[in-house]
């Protein structure tokens, strides 16, 4: 008769315990990740957290959409963008800005509407469409920024704003270009038709194509960083103070 070892029950129990613990690990990880994300995004309605097919990434289903997170919830991938959950910084945009860096000194600022604010020491170029609502929002943000020289490149996107090209021409041909631009962008006062003149719109369109400027506003800082969108004054300040190194 085969004698059953006295150690067998203990061995089976230990194996079973280890198995149960292993089964519990994903659930514990899910709970920890959910708590971490919930602490940083209190309004987020997280319905489910599960492993993704990619090692190290977890699938999070929340508010009707899926995004991916590392196990500590420090970074998330959302719509193809990598987001730092602590700072809310879009790391993908940050990286793209560096990859799309422009030699600021090579830009033809003589083709821009120039505005000197304060001591004007810091430099900024803006590709702007006269009929772009986000460009008008950026102009309001720029009111809060001083000690900067802003060079505005007239960059109408015809497919979106058919009248922007003509409005840009009127601004450029005005006796006071900066005033005409500010009156329109901030006050809604349309520039007078005036006399025709040679304008830089076509040259700036070619410049934008060269640097893949496909949206307005797009800001170019002295460091070479390019940033799309109507970013707030605090971010403009941050990028203006970058060394570019």
Q: According to CATH, what is the number of the domain 100-240? A: 3.40.30.10
In this prediction the pTM is 0.68
pLDDT tens track for 175-217:
999 999 999 999 999 998 877 899 999 999 999 999 989 999 9
pLDDT tens track for 17-26:
434 333 344 5
Name the fold adopted by 13-89.
Nuclear Transport Factor 2; Chain: A, (3.10.450)
Confirm whether 13-89 and 100-240 share one CATH topology.
Answer: no
Domain ranges of the chain: 13-89, 100-240
pLDDT tens track for 53-112:
888 898 888 887 889 999 899 999 888 888 898 898 888 888 877 778 999 999 999 999
The pLDDT score that the predictor gives to residue 15 is 47
Helix then strand then coil, in percent of the chain rounded to 5, is 40, 20, 40
- Residue 10 above 50 pLDDT? no
Pairing of strands 122-128, 218-221: antiparallel
Strand ranges (E), the chain: 46-51, 58-62, 65-69, 75-78, 81-84, 113-117, 122-128, 148-154, 218-221, 226-228
């Amino acid at each position: 008769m085969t004698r059953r070892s006295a150690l067998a029950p203990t061995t089976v129990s230990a194996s079973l315990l280890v198995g149960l613990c292993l089964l519990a690990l994903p659930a514990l990880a899910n709970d920890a990740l959910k708590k971490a994300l919930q602490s940083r995004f209190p309004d987020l309605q997280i319905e489910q957290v599960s492993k993704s097919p990619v090692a190290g990434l977890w699938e999070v289903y929340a508010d009707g959409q899926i995004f991916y997170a590392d196990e500590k919830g420090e970074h998330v991938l959302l719509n193809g963008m990598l987001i730092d959950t602590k700072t809310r910084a879009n790391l993908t945009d940050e990286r793209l800005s560096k990859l799309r860096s422009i030699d600021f000194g090579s830009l033809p600022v003589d083709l821009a509407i120039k505005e000197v604010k304060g001591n004007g020491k810091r430099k900024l170029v803006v590709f702007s469409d006269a009929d772009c609502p986000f460009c008008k929002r950026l102009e309001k943000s720029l009111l809060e920024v001083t000690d900067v020289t802003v060079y505005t490149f007239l960059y109408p996107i015809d497919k979106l704003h058919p009248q922007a090209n003509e409005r840009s021409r009127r601004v450029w041909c005005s006796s006071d270009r900066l005033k005409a631009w500010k009156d329109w962008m901030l006050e809604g006062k349309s520039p007078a038709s005036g006399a025709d003149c040679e304008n830089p719109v076509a040259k700036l369109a070619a410049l934008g194509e060269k640097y893949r400027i496909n949206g307005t506003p797009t800001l170019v800082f002295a460091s070479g960083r390019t940033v799309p969108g109507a970013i707030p004054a605090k971010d403009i300040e941050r990028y203006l103070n970058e060394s570019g190194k």
